[in-house]
Amino acid sequence: DTDDLQVLEIYKDTLPETTPLNSCILEESEWRLIRLRLAAAPKTTRKSIRSGSVTLIQVWAIADSKRQGFLGFREFITAMQLVSLAQAGQAVHSDLLSAEVDFENLKPPLMDGLDVLLAKQKRTSKTSEPELNGSPQVQNSPAALWFSSTKSAKKVPLASVTSIVDGLKKLYIQKLKPLEVTYRFNDFVSPLLTNSDFDAKPMVMLLGQYSTGKTTFIKHLLRSSYPGKCAHIGPEPTTDRFVVVMNGPDERSIPGNTVAVQADMPYSGLTTFGTAFLSKFECSQMPHPLLEHITFVDTPGVLSGEKQRTQRSYDFTGVTSWFATKCDLILLLFDPHKLDISDEFKRVISSLRGHDDKIRVVLNKADQVDTQQLMRVYGALMWSLGKVLNTPEVMRVYIGSFNDKPINAAAGPIGTELFEKEQDDLLADLKDIPKKACDRRINEFVKRARAAKIHSYIISHLKKEMPAMMGKAKTQQRLIDNLFDEFAKVQREHHLPAGDFPNVEHFREILSGYNIDKFEKLRPKMLQAVDDMLGYDIPELLKSFRNPYD
């Protein structure tokens, strides 16, 4: 309507003329333009909002709910609505927009004195823009330049980044990636990161034995089926492939080989698992409001009993470990009638080592047993998990029946109330994922940098132990056989925590295929660059994109 168009015009006026609206963001400098109207506003308005007041701190904090350090178009609309409500005399709080507000009759915020400033800004921007053949020259985004050329990345100052994620891209290309390439971190631990890895939406992966309700759980959240070969649901093992359920313009299913080569999707690293896996991998796209914020990963049922004798044609544990690194939340689903943890499931859970903070346990189909049996089932589940999860903390377990059917009457009134509360808690946990996505990305980036440092120490130590001339083959075999002792030497020499070292058996298996003598020696300058990144650059980046009114 007219009011929306006015807000849109206000937003467009704060941007350079060449900026496409679908990619625009509102940075701190543009947001400060909004503050300028406060100085020229009437005294009655200044009482409700003052420049630098608590209200502006709350407006920014609520609008930038994902903690990205900038306001996109939707976040800008939210901020304008909050300012309008504050000017109308309402107290600003996080639940204000979810309350019953008459947005149709809500007037845009007063912006007195802003027109003159914007006119001056437009005149200065037009005179400063370089022109080619009478038309403004189109500039490529800095992020695109960073990933296309390492040389051009060195010319990009930190002040030019437009968000925390863009800053992480720049730091990765300039400081962390050279270290990973030099010491072959991508061969031993994790593939090199691409542009799409930073821009990907938060992911939730579901793991469990067959017929524990993984696919039904996703359909329950979406309130609809998703396209693909795994749409069928039954008591037998039905989902025989990894399915990524993500947002898209239309409903379609994309084969795994096609998904792995698309530059705008963060799945290129899966090519290392071969064609046998990619034939069992697909992407299911559909337009859905929930999928605009979260991507789900549906997995094949973990084999148990006699089924384990039929070997898979790909490294199932390796694939789940790869997805676990990328995911923001991992749900382990159990059935009251399938509490046993098979050997394959045990290996899968063990591969999640280092991602304990992401794991949540779901006891699904809990309405199939009565209250007394549920109490015993819960105790048996916790006992089984205690044998596999080597952590002193108690794992969070959600109990419920996550499907579209009404709760079974056999659960009783106590069980029904319990299931509803547990389901609300789990849904609240899922809703918090987009808000914590930026913090999670920083956390994973720092974790990767520390792992790359330890990896470089290990590789350079093994290189140093190799002789200069004779007996190289024997020395390499001795180092591989005594790898645990070599890890201990590196730990003592550099004062590193033992828990941050990689799995010895996995490292030994990969190391046996390389010639240690061709590894690189320790390069202190590279390690110092990573230390500077962790100690100075990342804190400075977070400081630059904090709440500007706090």
With beta carbons less than 8 A apart as the criterion, state whether 314 and 280 touch. yes
Angle of helix 2-13 relative to helix 73-87, nearest 10 degrees, comes to 110
Q: Is the predicted pLDDT of residue 143 greater than 70, yes or no?
A: no
pTM over 0.85: no
With beta carbons less than 8 A apart as the criterion, state whether 26 and 11 touch. yes
Owner of token pair 């849904």: 427
Report the pLDDT value the prediction gives residue 159, as an integer from 0 to 100.
54
Q: Is the predicted pLDDT of residue 61 greater than 80, yes or no?
A: no
Residue bearing the bigger pLDDT, 150 or 122: 122
Report the pLDDT value the prediction gives residue 528, as an integer from 0 to 100.
92
With beta carbons less than 8 A apart as the criterion, state whether 283 and 268 touch. no
Q: Computed over its alpha carbons, how large is the radius of gyration of the chain? A: 27
Give the full edge-to-edge strand order of the sheet including 359-363: 252-255, 281-286, 242-247, 295-298, 203-208, 329-334, 359-363, 397-399
SS3 content of the chain, % helix, strand, coil (to 5): 55, 10, 35
Q: Is the predicted pLDDT of residue 154 greater than 50, yes or no?
A: no
Q: How many Cβ atoms sit within 10 Å of the Cβ of residue 320?
A: 23
Owner of token pair 């090519």: 271
The alpha helices in 89-223, defined as continuous H runs, are 114-128, 142-148, 150-153, 164-171, 177-182, 185-188, 195-199, 214-222
Q: What is the per-residue pLDDT across 390-425, written as a single tens digit (0 to 9) for each?
A: 777 777 888 888 777 777 666 556 667 788 888 888
- Residue in 27, 5, 2 with CA at minimum distance from that of residue 16: 27
Q: Is the predicted pLDDT of residue 135 greater than 90, yes or no?
A: no
Assign 90 a pLDDT band (cuts: 50, 70, 90): confident
Task: Compute the distance between CA of residue 529 and CA of residue 41 in angstroms, rounded to an integer.
Answer: 48
The alpha helices in 296-409, defined as continuous H runs, are 316-326, 343-351, 371-388
Assign 530 a pLDDT band (cuts: 50, 70, 90): very high
Q: Is the predicted pLDDT of residue 358 greater than 60, yes or no?
A: yes
Assign 547 a pLDDT band (cuts: 50, 70, 90): low
Report the pLDDT value the prediction gives residue 137, as an integer from 0 to 100.
46
- List the beta bridge partners of residue 285: 246, 252
Q: What is the per-residue pLDDT across 469-496, written as a single tens digit (0 to 9) for each?
A: 888 889 889 988 898 999 999 999 989 8
Mean pLDDT across the chain? 76
With beta carbons less than 8 A apart as the criterion, state whether 257 and 275 touch. yes
Q: Letter for the amino acid at 241?
A: R
Task: Compute the distance between CA of residue 260 and CA of residue 319 in angstroms, rounded to an integer.
Answer: 13
Burial of 435 (0-12, 13-18, 19+ CB in 10 A): middle
What phi and psi, each to the nearest 5 degrees, are found at residue 297?
Answer: -120, 110
User: How is residue 138 annotated by DSSP?
Assistant: P
Task: Compute the distance between CA of residue 171 and CA of residue 154 in angstroms, rounded to an integer.
Answer: 10
Q: Is the predicted pLDDT of residue 220 greater than 50, yes or no?
A: yes
- The residues, any chain, with a CB within 8 Å of residue 437's CB and separated by 6 or more, are 66, 201, 202, 328
